[in-house]
Homo-oligomer: A and B are copies of this chain.
Amino acid sequence: MNSELLLREHDLKVTPQRLGILSLMKIRGHVDVEELFSEMKKQFSSISLATLYKNVNAMLEKHLITEIKAPNFKAKYEIVKEPHIHLLCKECDEFVDLDLDLESLISDASKKSNYQLKESCVVLSGLCKKCQTK
């Protein structure tokens, strides 16, 4: 979906800065605040860090993006999509999405715990293919 519509559907005003943020997330998949800042400065030389924090928080509140956190890892942000998991390489810091069915995990967890589960944050870490042979 185009970013303008994405913003409108989440009750967020369309601004060039916000379009830039979303565009970057689409290209990169996930970004952290630091990356966001250094990349955005290329397009918006006078952008303020505060603007980024404010926008990231606004987008989180409206559920347009989600936050991914894990040990030894700077929080990253991505546009909301189907439930999936994340893989982190401890050697080269590669970080990728993996579309994997979480249904059985979630239903098992629900049965065992009686929790009604809505969201998941799954990060598995180890070595990517390249780093295994080094």
Contacts and interface: CB of A to CB of B under 8 A. Distances in A.
Interface string A101-134: 0001110110011111111111111111100100
Interface stretch (A4-12, A22-30, A63-71): A63-71
A49 interface: no
A116 to B, nearest CB: 5
Interface residues of A, number: 39
B121 A123 contact: yes
Given A87-B113, A121-B121, A121-B123, 15 more contacts: A60-B71, A69-B71, A85-B105, A87-B117, A90-B118, A105-B124, A113-B128, A113-B129, A114-B128, A115-B128, A116-B132, A117-B126, A118-B125, A118-B127, A119-B124
